[in-house]
């Protein structure tokens, strides 16, 4: 712990903001935790210096939801159709649009695509076994998500020329460097896919925009309450979810004034 320098902490901060593209509020919480840890280490005599001193926290901000519009989702789907591995890429985009984080998509195994019985009905869901802040759980798939995964798994099995097994990685890398080794697609591979789709569509695109889209749609399109939506997105912090409830409140206010002014039928 004594070997850590202020320069390394500043580099870590830059990595979180520039490479991982985490929100300022998330980076702020990470650095606050690190600062608290080093204060305790210093007071307890475990270190002779505090490398977090002088490292400024990002300014707190009320985040804004960055959901994709229906038209943008259609553009992305068209670009996926024209990509090198459309079956795989459509399933990846479908997972992101169901609120999964990039790392969670990378960690999926074939056996995580399961049928669950809800109120006597079969529901196709994804089991999230590994997740940020232990936010594990189940993700209910919409019809378009089910179609994407069913088509992909049939294609995947044909590519392997054998039956799929539960512990097979859900997504493999098909880069020239790894395709012969059948390696799991990493978070960085998913990020490269997003960059490619961004270049094709001109849409500012990163994996977390799918999560924003899912959360906002749960509130506005499907009319779920905040608590229900947070359970499905596996959010633990209401503060970080506030950006989506703000969007719902703005939308509700717009509908109210349009109805009151006669522009939308009562």
Residues 124-183 pLDDT 10s: 999 999 887 788 899 999 999 999 999 999 999 999 999 999 999 999 998 876 555 679
Per-residue pLDDT at 177: 65
- The burial of 86, by beta-carbon neighbours within 10 Å (0-12 exposed, 13-18 middle, 19 or more buried), is given as middle
Q: Do the Cβ atoms of 128 and 137 come closer than 8 Å?
A: yes
Rounded to whole angstroms, how far apart are CA atoms 100 and 132?
11
* Residues making up the chain, counted from first to last: 266
Q: Terminal CA-to-CA distance of the chain, rounded, Å?
A: 64
Output the pLDDT for position 236.
84
Q: E-assigned strands of 196-266?
A: none
Average pLDDT, the chain: 92
Task: State residue 263's pLDDT score.
Answer: 93
Q: What's the pLDDT at 61?
A: 67
204 membership: H or E segment, kind and range: none
- The predicted-structure confidence for 77-135, as pLDDT tens digits, reads as follows 999 999 999 999 999 999 999 999 999 999 999 999 999 999 999 999 999 998 877 88
Report the C-alpha gap between 124 and 177 in whole angstroms. Answer: 34
Q: What is the pLDDT of residue 133?
A: 74
Q: Tell me what pLDDT residue 110 has.
A: 98
What are the tens digits of pLDDT across the range 193-206? 999 999 999 999 99
**Higher pLDDT residue, 237 or 222?**
222
Token representation of residue 40: 């305790």
Round to whole Å and give the CA distance between 118 and 138: 12
Distance CA 159, CA 147 (A): 18
Tell me: the pLDDT tens digits for 9-49?
A: 999 999 999 999 888 888 999 999 999 999 999 999 999 99
Cα(104)–Cα(106) distance, integer angstroms: 5
């Amino acid at each position: 712990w004594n070997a850590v320098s202020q320069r390394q902490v500043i580099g870590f901060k830059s990595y979180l903001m520039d490479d991982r593209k985490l929100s300022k509020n998330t980076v702020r919480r990470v650095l606050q935790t690190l600062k608290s840890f080093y204060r305790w280490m210093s007071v307890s005599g475990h270190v002779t210096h505090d490398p977090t001193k002088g490292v400024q926290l990002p300014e707190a901000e009320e985040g804004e939801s960055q959901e994709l519009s229906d038209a943008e989702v259609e553009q992305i789907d068209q670009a996926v159709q024209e990509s090198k591995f459309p079956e795989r890429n459509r399933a990846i985009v479908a997972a992101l649009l169901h609120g999964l984080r990039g790392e969670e998509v990378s960690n999926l195994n074939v056996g995580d695509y399961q049928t669950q019985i809800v109120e006597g009905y079969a529901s196709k869901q994804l089991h999230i076994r590994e997740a940020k802040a232990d936010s594990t759980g189940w993700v209910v798939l919409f019809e378009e998500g089910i179609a994407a995964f069913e088509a992909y798994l049939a294609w995947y099995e044909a590519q392997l020329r054998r039956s799929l097994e539960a512990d097979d990685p859900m997504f493999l890398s098909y880069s020239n460097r790894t395709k012969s080794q059948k390696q799991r697609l990493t978070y960085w591979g998913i990020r490269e896919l997003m960059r490619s789709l961004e270049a094709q569509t001109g849409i500012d695109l990163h994996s977390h925009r799918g999560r924003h889209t899912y959360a906002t749609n749960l509130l506005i399109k499907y009319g779920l309450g905040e608590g229900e939506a947070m359970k499905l997105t596996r959010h633990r912090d209401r503060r970080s979810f506030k950006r989506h409830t703000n969007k719902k409140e703005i939308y509700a206010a717009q509908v109210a004034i349009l109805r009151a002014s006669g522009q939308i039928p009562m």
